[in-house]
Homo-oligomer: A and B are copies of this chain.
Amino acid sequence: MPESRPYHHGDLRAALLAAAERTLREKGTAALSLRELAREVGVSHAAPGRHFKDKQALLNALALAGYERLAQSLNTADDPALPLEPRLTALVRAYLAFAIDNAALLELMYARKHEPDASEQMAAAVEQTVGSLERVLAEAQQRGEVIDGDPAELNLVTGATLHGVAGFISAGWLTPEAALAGAEGLVHFLLHGLKPR
């Protein structure tokens, strides 16, 4: 345990990612700069270039870690033994909780354009994340508890609603408290829509 920083940081890559996540959470995306990150971690401004080809590469790594964290959270929250409505509610709560705790990170995750050259790791992490919702809807559809039709379309529109609510939270149009309190109403809307009966 050296008092003064050694020439080699040890795990600069991980330290940069951790500092970046903290900055994202505490000061937002606009405050994220490689030079500032380097300063926080105590290396020269050129050092990050060894571990990330450019700033975008660091953002991609952040997004990847975000998807992995979110996917695990959703997976843990999903209880296949539950009936559809409470099962969906648990998933929605987990998603909203993540959106509240990681608003800037989630925006960054969504901001990644659907590039064909996106890493396979990233694609896999996204698939893992979307998978929880897909499974719930597909199983419900098989049981006849969800309308027939292209599952991809159902997933998309359901995911869009969640994405939109997350956006409203991070835009400040919806408080975290209101969002969490409205989770049940949200699921009811997802299942029954605006029409009575």
Residues of A within 8 A of B (CB): 110-115, 137, 140, 144-149, 153-154, 156-165, 167-168, 171-174, 182, 185-186, 189-196
Task: List chain B residues, Cβ under 8 A from A111.
Answer: 171
Q: Number of copies of this chain in the oligomer?
A: 2
A156 with B171: in contact, given A193-B193, A194-B137, A195-B192 (CB under 8 Å)? no
Kindly provide the distance from the CB of A174 to the nearest chain B CB, expressed in whole angstroms. 7
- B158 and A194 form a contact (CB under 8 A): yes
Kindly provide the distance from the CB of A48 to the nearest chain B CB, expressed in whole angstroms. 19
- A147 and B114 form a contact (CB under 8 A): no
Given A114-B172, A192-B192, 4 more A-B residue pairs with CB atoms under 8 Å apart are A145-B195, A160-B165, A163-B164, A163-B167
- B185 and A153 form a contact (CB under 8 A): yes
- Select which of B112, B137, B140, B161 is within 8 A of A160 by beta carbon: B161
Docked CA distance A154–B195 (Å): 11
Task: List chain B residues, Cβ under 8 A from A168.
Answer: 156, 159-160, 163
- B167 and A167 form a contact (CB under 8 A): yes
- B137 and A171 form a contact (CB under 8 A): no
A172 with B137: in contact, given A146-B194, A189-B193 (CB under 8 Å)? no
- B194 and A194 form a contact (CB under 8 A): no
